[in-house]
């Protein structure tokens, strides 16, 4: 007889870390689907596009994680010859993954909003 998997119980701290990690990965991947960027440009764009709500000291962890998963890759140096920086761009697999991430993110936010909307302040 097949076993029914036990439901996963998320501890708040772990869930928060996973959400933060996945949202940062989604944001970085979104920018890299538009064009090749170096880490500095990604940080600057995230800061500007979020009106400084998101400011990062470094993005090495998300970039390394996305590269290990083959969702991004290093690309050739842009035509301006700036060899001192490493540029990244989304792969086709990364673009597909981003679409899934955005769908999951929107479903999660929508579900959370339904619960939060029950609150009256």
For residue 93, what is the domain's CATH number? 1.10.10.10
Tell me the pLDDT of the chain averaged across its residues.
85
Instruction: Give the mean model confidence (pLDDT) for residues 102-112.
Output: 88
Contact of 88 with 63, CB cutoff 8 Å = yes
Pairing, β 37-38 against β 72-75: unpaired
Give the pLDDT of residue 67.
Answer: 96
Q: How many domains does the chain have?
A: 1
Share of the chain above pLDDT 90, in %: 44
96 within a domain of the structure (yes/no) = yes
| pTM, full prediction | 0.79
97 within a domain of the structure (yes/no) = yes
71 within a domain of the structure (yes/no) = yes
What pLDDT digit, counting tens, does each position of 61-105 carry? 999 999 999 999 998 766 566 566 789 999 999 999 999 999 988
Structural domain including 105 reads 27-113
21 within a domain of the structure (yes/no) = no
18 within a domain of the structure (yes/no) = no
């Amino acid at each position: 007889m097949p076993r029914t998997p036990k439901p996963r119980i998320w501890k708040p701290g772990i869930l928060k870390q996973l959400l933060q990690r996945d949202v940062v990965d989604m944001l970085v991947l979104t920018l890299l689907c538009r064009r090749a960027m170096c880490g500095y440009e990604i940080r600057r764009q995230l800061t500007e596009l979020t009106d400084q709500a998101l400011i990062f000291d470094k993005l090495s962890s998300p970039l390394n994680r996305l590269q290990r998963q083959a969702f991004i890759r290093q690309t050739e140096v842009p035509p301006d010859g700036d060899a001192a920086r490493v540029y990244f761009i989304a792969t086709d697999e990364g673009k597909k993954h981003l679409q899934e991430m955005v769908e999951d993110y929107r479903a999660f936010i929508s579900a959370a909003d339904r619960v939060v909307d029950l609150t009256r302040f």
